[in-house]
């Protein structure tokens, strides 16, 4: 009788461990789509004029859906990024992909200068648009909101 209870307890413990590992790995999954901006991420504070890395994840089979290029954009809250009530996205760069090696997934970005005119910090986001060989849009990704601190701000 005790052997049967011990075996059931051991099996239950193993199942619980498996479920905990599955849920933990799901919690750390950072990219749930085909195109994701991993960094900058929520809560990051970037300094104007500093260098930060934009890190992407592109989840396509490059032989079935060949990505030829992507464009990186950024936007911030504030009047300089609004036109006729629409949010303006400014181009950072266009990166071209290698059909065999894939796309470069990191880009060293010089954080744009912001002045503390409206607010001491700017809430911003980075976006990516992925294109195929014919120029057709394959997917869009966007970062979480992060802050750009003015060059001369303390901290």
pLDDT score for 59? 83
pLDDT score for 26? 36
Measured CA angle at 61 (ends 22, 99), to 5 deg: 140
pLDDT-derived band of residue 119, with 50, 70 and 90 as boundaries?
Answer: low
pLDDT surpasses 60 at 43: yes
Average pLDDT, the chain: 77
- How many angstroms from the chain centroid is the CA of residue 19? 27
Q: Which of 7-16, 71-80, 116-125 has the highest mean pLDDT?
A: 71-80
pLDDT surpasses 60 at 11: no
pLDDT-derived band of residue 91, with 50, 70 and 90 as boundaries?
Answer: very high
Torsion of CA 114, 118, 123, 126, to 10 degrees: -40
pLDDT score for 108? 95
Instruction: Summarize the confidence of residues 94-107 as an average pLDDT.
Output: 88
What tokens appear for 32 in the block? Answer: 């749930």
d(Cα 141, Cα 55) in Å, to the nearest integer?
12
Q: Which residues of 42-80 are buried (b: 16+ CB within 10 A; e: fewer)?
A: eeeebebeeebebbbebebeeeeeebbebbbbbbbbeee
Instruction: Summarize the confidence of residues 112-138 as an average pLDDT.
Output: 80
Q: Which residues, 6 or more positions from 58, have their beta carbon under 8 angstroms from its beta carbon?
A: 34, 35, 67, 70, 102, 103, 105, 130
Pairing of strands 51-58, 35-39: antiparallel
- How many angstroms from the chain centroid is the CA of residue 144? 7
């Amino acid at each position: 009788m005790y052997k049967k209870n011990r075996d059931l307890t051991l099996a239950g413990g193993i199942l619980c461990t498996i479920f905990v590992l599955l849920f933990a790995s799901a919690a750390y999954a950072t990219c749930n789509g085909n195109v994701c901006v991993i960094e900058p991420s929520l809560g990051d504070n970037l300094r104007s004029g500093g260098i930060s890395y934009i890190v992407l994840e592109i989840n396509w089979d490059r032989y079935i859906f060949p990505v030829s290029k992507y464009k990186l954009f950024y936007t911030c809250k504030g009047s300089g990024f609004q036109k006729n009530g629409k949010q303006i996205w400014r181009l950072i760069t266009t990166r071209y992909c290698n059909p065999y090696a894939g796309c470069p997934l990191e880009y060293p970005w010089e954080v744009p200068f912001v002045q503390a005119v409206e607010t001491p910090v700017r809430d911003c986001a980075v976006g990516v648009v992925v294109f195929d060989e014919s120029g057709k849009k394959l997917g869009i990704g966007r970062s979480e909101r992060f802050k750009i601190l003015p060059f001369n701000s303390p901290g």
